[in-house]
Amino acid sequence: MTRKYFGTDGIRGRVGEGNITPDFALKLGWAAGRVLGEGRGGKVLIGKDTRISGYMFESALEAGLVAAGMDIRLLGPMPTPAIAYLTRTLRGVAGIVISASHNPYQDNGLKFFSADGDKLSDAVESAIEREFDRPLHTVGPAELGKVKRVDDARGRYIEFCKGTIPAAMSFRNLKLVVDCANGATYHVAPDVFEELGARVITIGDEPDGFNINRKVGSTSPEALMEAVVQEGADLGVAFDGDGDRVLMVDRDGNLIDGDQLIYIIAKSRLEQQYLKGEVVGTLMSNLGLEHALRRLDVGFVRTQVGDRYIMERLKQDDGILGGEPSGHIICRDRTSTGDGIVVALQVLAAMEDADRDLGDLAGEMQKYPQRLINIRLDEQRDIVGLPEIRDAVGSAERELGECGRVLLRPSGTEPLIRVMVEGIDEAQVDSIANRLTDVVRARIAG
């Protein structure tokens, strides 16, 4: 179903451009209130990350929702999965997150959760878009919504996170470095790990509205890798700006990506006889994950890139675990969306149960060489289907045979073409990736 405003993960872009403006947010809030409230009103929760523009969009959404007769609960800076959780527990009709996730502060976006803490369906998003295109009419003065702040939102979410591992489990023997990306986890994640007994050193925990994801967090893990070694820590944990992604670092400073974390959790769940259904990855998941799970006799299936598609497949097959190499991982037996803190806790619990360190557990999965190149476009357009691009991809696939994969796809959130090549031989992978990149760039220039 084609949508006019919503992308694969809400609405996102450069602040002040396109749809990322306060007047758009106001009208969108009104339209969403009209559709989600179904004329009866209801409660909508609004949370945000730490970027400076969040104040502006929070106020605009508030005005639009109130004009539609919706009550509002303001959560302030909170991780995206916290908004999903609190929407369920506070019985909201919807939750709205103001965040551009792992993007820099110049960007922002709007993402919606249903009353169940899930992403909105395509049908509901389309209904909101149709309402958006109608004239805005404010309800009568007596029907206007009211706004309150949820003062204990942070504490509620911390307790939820702690409750996703056994009550008797303690991490008192672990020394952690936690990188909050100067984002929404800065006042939540350190306390979660400390309250579970760990000794915590924190970086990326001083947001100023402009430094979210800047040289810290899961998109720039070098700072964490260095800090873990310098501090002699047992491991490190890196979140992205809105806290729905996590990567980890072992005691030697080696990066442990989302595929490896999925493997660790899957094996732990399997050993405890909790694993249900196939593990769900995406087209970007490393072939090594598929092969490692096959050795455990665990099924693996790929979807399109995006947590929306992972969740759809998990629900379809009643599975509990899926995710992406970026660290966006869904533990459906614990929460309704990708949650960086919850995922990190599942990995720590797996370490505790196995009495092994992170590097040992991750080492059981052999990652195949994979080269990913992002090619920026001057505007969002899909050139992947052009004949010369298809021919180049076909030639690369024949060269790799059954020992590798090639993937070219447009980004769903940015004007980028992503070129991914994977295989057993690293030199061959690099050579093919560079050739494909040259073909794509030549076509763009032409």
Which residues, in sequence order, are CB contacts of 159 under 8 Å at separation 6+? none
Q: Side-chain half-sphere of 187: how many Cα atoms within 13 Å?
A: 14
Query: Does 336 qualify as catalytic in the annotation?
Result: no
Tokens of 287: 């072939």
Residue among 5, 14, 78 at smallest CA distance from 46 = 78
3-state secondary structure 277-299: CCEEEECCCCHHHHHHHHHCCCC
Q: At what angle do helices 258-271 and 287-295 cross, to 10 degrees?
A: 10
The identity of residue 440, as a single letter, is V
Number of other CB atoms surrounding residue 295 within 10 Å:
9
Helix ranges, 38-145 (H): 54-67, 80-89, 122-132
Collapsing DSSP to helix, strand or coil, 147 comes out as strand
Other C-beta atoms lying within 10 Å of the C-beta of residue 55:
12
The closest of 90, 100, 110 to 160, measured between CA atoms, is 90
Residue pair 260/355 in contact (Cβ under 8 Å)? The answer is no
Q: Which residues contact 403 (CB under 8 A, 6 or more apart)?
A: 423, 424
Residue located via tokens 């094996």: 267
- Count of beta carbons in the 10 Å neighbourhood of residue 102: 24
Among residues 197, 192, 198, 253, the alpha carbon closest in space to that of 221 is found at 253
Phi-psi region of 297 (alpha: psi -120 to 50; beta: other; left: phi over 0): left
Q: Inter-axis angle of helices 153-162 and 340-354, to 10 degrees? A: 30
Of these residues, 53, 59, 99, 101, which one is catalytic?
101
**Catalytic residue list:** 101
